[in-house]
Chain A
Amino acid sequence: MSQSSVDFPPKGGFSFDLCKRNDMLTQKGLKAPSFLKTGTTIVGLIFQDGVILGADTRATEGPIVADKNCEKIHYMAPNIYCCGAGTAADTEAVTDMVSSQLRLHRYQTGRDSRVITALTLLKKHLFSYQGHVSAALVLGGVDISGPHLHTIYPHGSTDTLPFATMGSGSLAAMSVFEAKYKEGLTRDEGIKLVAEAICSGIFNDLGSGSNVDICVITKGHKEYLRNYMEPNPRTYISSKGYTFTKKTEVLLTKITPLSERVKVVEVAGEAMEE
Chain B
Amino acid sequence: MDLNLDAPHSMGTTIIGVTYNGGVVLGADSRTSTGMYVANRASDKITQLTDNVYVCRSGSAADSQVVSDYVRYFLHQHTIQLGQPATVKVSANLIRMLAYNNKNMLQTGLIVGGWDKYEGGKIYGIPLGGTVVEQPFAIGGSGSSYLYGFFDQAWKEGMTKEEAEQLVVKAVSLAIARDGASGGVVRTVIINSEGVTRNFYPGDKLQLWHEELEPQNSLLDILNAGGPVPMAM
Which residues of A pack against B, CB within 8 Å? 123, 127, 131, 134, 151, 153-159, 161, 168, 170-171
Give A138 Cβ to nearest chain B Cβ, in Å: 12
- B176: Cβ under 8 A from any A Cβ: no
Which residues of B pack against A, CB within 8 Å? 3, 5-6, 8-9, 32, 34, 37, 39-40, 42-43, 60-62, 65-66
Q: For the complex, what is the distance from the CA of A127 to the CA of B102, rounded to whole Å? A: 14
B3 A171 Cβ-Cβ under 8 A: yes
Query: Top 5 A-B pairs ranked by shortest CB distance?
Result: A157-B61, A157-B62, A156-B62, A155-B62, A157-B9
Known: A153-B9, A155-B9. A171 touches B37 (CB 8 A): yes
Q: For the complex, what is the distance from the CA of A123 to the CA of B64, rounded to whole Å? A: 13
Q: For the complex, what is the distance from the CA of A120 to the CA of B3, rounded to whole Å? A: 28
Contacts A159-B39, A159-B40, A161-B42 aside, 4 further interface pairs with beta carbons under 8 A come to: A153-B8, A153-B39, A157-B32, A170-B37
Q: For the complex, what is the distance from the CA of A131 to the CA of B66, rounded to whole Å? A: 14
26 A/B residue pairs, CB under 8 Å, sorted by A: A123-B66, A127-B62, A127-B66, A131-B8, A134-B6, A151-B39, A153-B8, A153-B34, A153-B61, A153-B62, A154-B8, A155-B8, A156-B65, A157-B8, A157-B9, A157-B60, A157-B61, A157-B62, A157-B65, A159-B32, A159-B40, A159-B43, A161-B42, A170-B37, A171-B3, A171-B37
Contacts of A155 in B (CB 8 A): 8-9, 60-62
Contacts of A157 in B (CB 8 A): 8-9, 32, 60-62, 65
Q: For the complex, what is the distance from the CA of A186 to the CA of B40, rounded to whole Å? A: 24
Could you tell me the dominant secondary structure of chain A's interface residues?
Answer: loop
B8 A158 Cβ-Cβ under 8 A: no
Q: For the complex, what is the distance from the CA of A158 to the CA of B32, rounded to whole Å? A: 11
Interface contact tally, CB-CB below 8 A? 44
Contacts of A151 in B (CB 8 A): 39-40
Q: For the complex, what is the distance from the CA of A131 to the CA of B105, rounded to whole Å? A: 13
Q: For the complex, what is the distance from the CA of A151 to the CA of B65, rounded to whole Å? A: 14
Contacts of B39 in A (CB 8 A): 151, 153, 159
> Which of the residues A154, A156, A168 comes within 8 Å of B66, measured between beta carbons?
A156
**Smallest CB gap from B34: residue in A:** A153
**Smallest CB gap from B38: residue in A:** A174
Q: For the complex, what is the distance from the CA of A171 to the CA of B5, rounded to whole Å? A: 10
Most buried by A among B3, B32, B62: B62
Give B103 Cβ to nearest chain A Cβ, in Å: 15
Q: For the complex, what is the distance from the CA of A158 to the CA of B39, rounded to whole Å? A: 11
Q: For the complex, what is the distance from the CA of A134 to the CA of B61, rounded to whole Å? A: 16
Contacts of A159 in B (CB 8 A): 32, 39-40, 43
Give A133 Cβ to nearest chain B Cβ, in Å: 12
**Smallest CB gap from B37: residue in A:** A171
Q: For the complex, what is the distance from the CA of A151 to the CA of B40, rounded to whole Å? A: 10
